[in-house]
A and B are shown apart, each in its own frame.
Chain A
Amino acid sequence: MREPESPTVGSGSERGEHRRVSRRDFLGGAGIRAGLGREEPVNEALSGLSIAEAGRKLAAREVSSVELMRAVLARIERLEPRIGAFVARADPARCLAAAREADDEIAHRRYRGKLHGIPIAVKDTHYTVDLPTTARSPILAGFTPPFDATVVARLKAAGAIIVGKTNLPEWSFGGSTPGTKNPWDLSQDPGGSSGGSAAAVAAQMVLGATGGDTSGSIRSPAMRCGVVGLKPTRGRVSTYGIVPISWTLDHVGPIARTVEDAALLLNGLAGHDPNDPSSALTAAPIYNARLRRGVRGWRIGVYNAETLAGCGAESLRAFDEAIAVYRRLGADLRDVDLPVDGSVAHACQRVIRIGEAAAYHRAYLRAGMDYGKESAVRRQLAAGSLISAAIYQRALQLRASLIDRMQATFTEFDVLVTPGWDAIPDERGFPSAPILSGIWNLCGFPCIVVPAGMRSAPPVLPLGIQIVGSPFEEEKVLVAANAFEQAADWHRMRPPDPSR
């Protein structure tokens, strides 16, 4: 029987430059071994460096990008069969060639910045000219886009090296990621929909990754895997060349092991994109420039008791401890009454999401394209197609009104801190946490989750807190997150090595 074509080869004019690796060899790691070379020792520990640390070592030429890449490839070879974070991977020989090129540029004083020579991954919704983009749907199987998504192009221009595309649920629908294991407990899901990215970062198979967030899909898996996930302001990061769920709710952002790394990745991702009509014109600052200025004297908003009533006990415990940390850091904490009816916000977010998704999928649905026998998404889309335009427009009106009120409320504090959420949502979203997660997609405000402890009861998985800011105030969100991270130190936790 003929073997299926490998997902690891390049495409188009580049195809001839790369060796073909069969699926069997790929899964067995022969491709990686061939790329690595058998004689040279690999220091796998390098894959655990933060982007900031690796960037400093690369710039100082204490470590080479090739050494870093070899560490990452070796770790992926060892752990990927257990974790299942990737949908497709770049040819290892090609990754090493890119790393050699980065080393050469750095040696010739053409250092591009902290992402130069850094191995990363992107979610398999991001168009990539050299790897297929499937959004985990049979409809897009084998599709290799003719251009890179803007975020992919930006990361490549910054010198980052994309080693693979990460796993997600079908079309990014859902809060779990079938096929990917949580590195903290292999019996557990990593959360979703950017679960492959969060798992790959947590397992130190890459130094950073990107995800997409329509209802919490960066933040939920980041929290569940004990890493940092940032959803920027709507318009801050281009969504051009990203397979959408919902044009007005989708966000693209970084997943990293530290807040500083999230800032460095955001430096690479952010900025105006003329190809994206929703792209902001507001200039993007250098997000790591003032990261350590602290929160002394900052007004930090805290959800009031009524709002917190629906949160899980474990999340509330981590939240209370985080509030105590902020108090010690000199912040002025104040209760906040959000000007929002949670059920209305949830309804608007859900209706806008499925209405726009149904519009995007209309051609596929009308053509009777095969979503796959087990697809839960097709029925969602068919039902979503029946929602009236008047209801959709009314949801948009309610959203606009909510944003107006929310912007006024956010003038009363610098950032808002919320608990995390510890439930795995069903495939239709985050019903247990609409006031925590989807509401910030609805408003488009920036937010970040950072590790804030561990569950005390099984499954013993990480917990997090969330920090929310006003539109385009990612800097403040990052400063508040960094202050907590450095004081609480939860970011140094690492999952057990699953192969030992």
Chain B
Amino acid sequence: MTERENAFRVPASSPDFARTDPAWAAEALRQLGISWRDEADLDAICDVFDEYRRLADVIDSAQISPEQPPMVDLERPTR
């Protein structure tokens, strides 16, 4: 498991939910070629990412069959 994947492991509902580490975010953004203005800007990006991590946790916790295809075709109902 990479450090980035690990960022999603702690449930948002847990008191252990840790704020995104700015150093980790800085490295991840650097690898993606995305710049930020200054430390305050990076902190703000981390705050937003924390919200997405909480949403990701909800998604991760939801029940879904691994066989479920992700594609949708509203013109061909499956039932």
Which residues of A are in contact with B by a Cβ distance under 8 Å?
Answer: 233-235, 248, 280-282, 341, 343-344, 346-348, 350-351, 354, 365-366, 368, 379-380, 382-388, 390-391, 393-401, 403-404, 407-408, 428, 444, 471-472
Contact = CB atoms under 8 A, between A and B. Distances in A.
Contacts of A404: 77-79
A400 B72 contact: yes
Contacts of A341: 62
Interface of B: 4-5, 8, 25, 28-29, 32-36, 41, 44-46, 48-49, 51-52, 55-56, 58-60, 62, 64-65, 68-72, 74-75, 77-79
Nearest to B77: A407
Given A386-B49, A388-B5, A400-B68, A234 B74 contact: yes
A388 B8 contact: yes
A379 B45 contact: yes
B75 A282 contact: yes
B71 to A, nearest CB: 7
A383 B62 contact: no
A351 B34 contact: no
9 contacts: A346-B58, A347-B59, A383-B45, A393-B70, A395-B59, A397-B69, A398-B68, A403-B72, A408-B79
Contact of A403 (B46, B48, B74): B74
A373 to B, nearest CB: 9
B56 A471 contact: no
A379 B41 contact: yes
Given A382-B36, A398-B59, A400-B69, A233 B74 contact: yes
Contacts of B8: 388, 391
A399 B72 CA distance: 8
Contacts of B25: 386
Contacts of B28: 386
A235 B52 contact: no
Contact of B64 (A350, A354, A397): A397
A348 to B, nearest CB: 6
Contacts of A235: 74-75
A391 B60 contact: yes
B64 A398 contact: yes
